[in-house]
Amino acid sequence: MSRALALRNARLVDPVAGTVREGCLLARDGVIEVLGDLDHITLRSSDAVADVRRAVVAPGLVDLGAFAIDLPGFTAGGITRAALMPDQAPALDDAALIQRAAAAGKPDVWIHPIAAATARLEGRELAEIGLMKAAGACAVATGRARIADAGVMHRLLSYAAALDMLVITHAEDEGLTGAAVATEGETATRLGLAAAPAAAEAMAVARDLMLAEDTGARLHFRQVTTARAFELIRAAKARGVRVTCGITPAHLMLSDIAMTGFRTFARLSPPLRCEDDRRAAIEAVRDGTVDVICSGHDPRGPEAKRLPFADAAPGMAGAETLLALSLNLVRDEVIDLPRLFALVSTNPARLLGLPGGRLEVGAAADLVIVDADAPWKIDADRMAGAAGNTPFDGLPVQGKVLRTIKGGQPLG
C-alpha cells in the first residue's frame, strides 16, 4: 500500500461548489480519498500527517499559456499543471516535439504542450494539428501574434471545431501595432515611445469572434485588456458564441504609468493600458466576462531586459506571483476565494480538458497549501524561477504558497 498524506485543520476551498469549509483531507494513490472528518480513518505510522493550522487547501493552479518550462517557478507559485505555448525553439509544430515537451516536467509539475496553429508559427500554412492532438497537445494556438490572414484563421477554426480542440489566439491587429511598444496615451507621448491605439485589440477580437461564430469553434483569447474588447466578448457570449478569455495580474493591477522611467520589466505584450481599461478589466473579472487568470510567465534574462525600452523583449516572470497578486481581488471584494480558484485552476483545466481544478473525493490530489494572509515582498533577485523580470519588483503582498502537492506528494 502507498504512503498517504493527511492534512488536518485546513480551510478547504471547493471552486466547483463555491464553498470554503474547515476540515481535513486524506490523499492516497494520487487521488483525494477523504474530505472532512478523519476520525474514523486509521492512519499507518508511515503515512505523512500535517497540521496546516487553518491554511487554505485548494486545487493546484493550472496555468494556461506559459512561455517557458520553469519547474522551480511553477512549484514556488503553486502551479501543478502548465500549458506550454508553442513559441519555443523550434516551434511546437510537430508531433515529436509535442511528445518531448509533454515529458519535460514529469513526475512533478506536468507540462501540457499547446500545438502551433501554423508551420513555424508563420501564419501561412496550417500545421498537422490532428497528429499533434494525438501526440498529446491540449489545444492549438497562434502564438505571440495572431494569424493575419482571415482565410487561414477560418480554416484553422473549422478544422479545430471538427476536432473539438480549443483555439488560443493573440488579440492585436498587427496592421495597427506595427513596431509599437506601448499604448497610445499620455505616458507613451511623454516617454517618446512608438505607440498604437488600444483599438488594435478590439479590432482583432471582432474579426475572430465573427469567424468563431461562423465555424462553431471554441475560441480563447489568451489575454484581453481593453474595455472595448471586453464589450465585444460579453455580447458574443450572450449570443452563444463559444468564446472565453484570460488576463494576467499585471493588466489588473498596473496601468501604462508603470512604464515611467523606461522600466523594461513593464514592457509587456499586450502592453499596459490606460487606467480606464484597467478598471474595465476588474469589472470584467467581477461580472464573469473573464474566464481565466494566467501568469503570462515569460522569464527573460538581463540580456533581454537591460536594454533601451524599445529594444527590450516584452514579457514578465509571473508564475511565482500569480496567486499572491490575484488574492488582491478577494481582499478588494471583487470575487470570493472559491471564484478565484475557479479562475486560476478549475476553468483552465476544463477548457483544456485536463484533470485538476477540483477538490472532491476521487479527484487528482494536485493541491496547493496557502497562507492567504502571510505578508512578504516580491524581490526579483530572489525569485526561485529562471528569471525575475517582474513589474512588481519590491511590491509588498499578502498570500504565500506554503507547499505545492502533485499526486499527493509534496514538491520542492
Residue 383: per-residue pLDDT? 95
Long-range contact pairs involving 33-40 (C-beta distance under 8 Å, separation at least 24)? 33/4, 33/361, 34/361, 35/359, 35/360, 35/361, 38/6, 38/8
pLDDT confidence tier of residue 347, bands split at 50, 70 and 90 = very high
Cα Dmax for the chain: 68
Domains and CATH numbers, the chain: 61-352 (3.20.20.140)
pLDDT confidence tier of residue 3, bands split at 50, 70 and 90 = confident
Q: In this model, does residue 118 exceed pLDDT 80?
A: yes
pLDDT confidence tier of residue 412, bands split at 50, 70 and 90 = confident
Residue 296: per-residue pLDDT? 97
- Condensed to tens digits (0 to 9), the pLDDT of residues 84-106 reads 999 999 999 999 999 999 998 78
Q: In this model, does residue 184 exceed pLDDT 60?
A: yes
- Condensed to tens digits (0 to 9), the pLDDT of residues 24-73 reads 999 999 999 999 887 777 777 778 899 999 999 999 999 999 999 999 99
The answer to whether the Cα torsion of 217, 220, 226, 231 is positive or negative is positive
Residue 46: per-residue pLDDT? 74
Contact 389, 299 (CB under 8 A): yes
Q: In this model, does residue 107 exceed pLDDT 90?
A: no
- Condensed to tens digits (0 to 9), the pLDDT of residues 120-179 reads 999 999 999 999 999 999 999 999 999 999 999 999 999 999 999 999 999 999 999 999
- Condensed to tens digits (0 to 9), the pLDDT of residues 218-260 reads 999 999 999 999 999 999 999 999 999 999 999 999 999 999 9
Distance between CA atoms of residues 207 and 70, nearest Å: 34
Contact 19, 56 (CB under 8 A): no
Residue 5: per-residue pLDDT? 94
Tell me the helix, strand and coil percentages in the chain, rounded to 5: 35, 25, 40
Q: In this model, does residue 1 exceed pLDDT 60?
A: no
> In angstroms, what CA-CA distances link 290 with 47, 245, 339, 340, 383?
41, 5, 11, 11, 28
